[in-house]
Chains A and B, each alone.
Chain A
Amino acid sequence: AQSVTQPDIHITVSEGASLELRCNYSYGATPYLFWYVQSPGQGLQLLLKYFSGDTLVQGIKGFEAEFKRSQSSFNLRKPSVHWSDAAEYFCAVGARGTGGYQKVTFGIGTKLQVIP
């Protein structure tokens, strides 16, 4: 079964600073990887996804993530954080579940706080 580890439960960065959120996955085959963002009181929104091809993936809101197979990682980055980026970020891995659909397993989430 697949699993996702987000080692940082809470991260604080200054506005304008760079950001990197860590994600490690466990899956026997080539994974389908995702990053979602959840603002307070809202549902999850897809930031970006990786299926195959270029290992550097661009997403919405200026985010990018890099797939590194050798490290089983899919870290999320942003060069300059804005106060509106304060939210909770979830890494997820997709794998075939019952009936052949893509069963997505989510990490525990990383809460990002942005300070002035």
Chain B
Amino acid sequence: DAGVIQSPRHEVTEMGQEVTLRCKPISGHNSLFWYRQTMMRGLELLIYFNNNVPIDDSGMPEDRFSAKMPNASFSTLKIQPSEPRDSAVYFCASSLRGQFDYEQYFGPGTRLTVT
């Protein structure tokens, strides 16, 4: 298996621009997580999907952030408009809901820089 795939790996954009991060989970996994990692706050859960349905979005910082999962093999995290404080590494992780739904497999991350 190719593992969790994220694109792009690096993104540099100007404040006010729209940013879309993409994730392809491991085939067969039915849970998907988006995390944000910063030096100050560590690794934070933004949103969790199960069977393509958002279950817990309490970690989404504000309305500028939105996430979708149109099918089992694709998810996006969108920031519109972006701000410098959104600069971070964004990780996508997937797992198989059930006994081991906490065994999460992480993608390589997208490093976002907003200038």
Interface centre among A49, A98, A101, A107 (most CB of B within 10 A): A101
Check if A63 is an interface residue, CB within 8 A of chain B. Answer: no
Closest to B42 in A: A108
Report whether over half of chain B's contact residues are helix, strand or loop; otherwise say mixed: strand
Q: How far is the CA of A26 from the CA of B31 in the complex (A)?
A: 25
Which B residues touch A101, using CB under 8 A? 31, 48, 50, 55-56, 97, 101
Q: Closest CB-CB distance, A44 to chain B, in whole Å?
A: 4
Contact with A along B28-44 (1 / 0, CB 8 A): 00010000000000110
Closest to B101 in A: A102
Judging by beta carbons under 8 Å apart, are A103 and B45 in contact? yes
Judging by beta carbons under 8 Å apart, are A99 and B104 in contact? no
Say yes or no: A43-B107 contact (C-beta < 8 A), given A98-B58, A104-B102: yes
Q: Closest CB-CB distance, B70 to chain A, in whole Å?
A: 20
Check if B4 is an interface residue, CB within 8 A of chain A. Answer: yes
Check if A28 is an interface residue, CB within 8 A of chain B. Answer: no
Say yes or no: A104-B104 contact (C-beta < 8 A), given A43-B91, A90-B43, A98-B55: yes
Judging by beta carbons under 8 Å apart, are A106 and B43 in contact? yes
Check if B103 is an interface residue, CB within 8 A of chain A. Answer: yes
Residues of A within 8 A of B (CB): 32, 34, 36, 41-46, 49, 90, 94, 97-99, 101-109
19 example contacts (A-B, Cβ-Cβ < 8 A) are as follows A32-B102, A43-B93, A43-B106, A43-B109, A44-B43, A44-B91, A44-B104, A46-B104, A90-B43, A97-B48, A98-B56, A99-B56, A101-B55, A101-B56, A101-B101, A103-B56, A104-B102, A105-B45, A108-B42
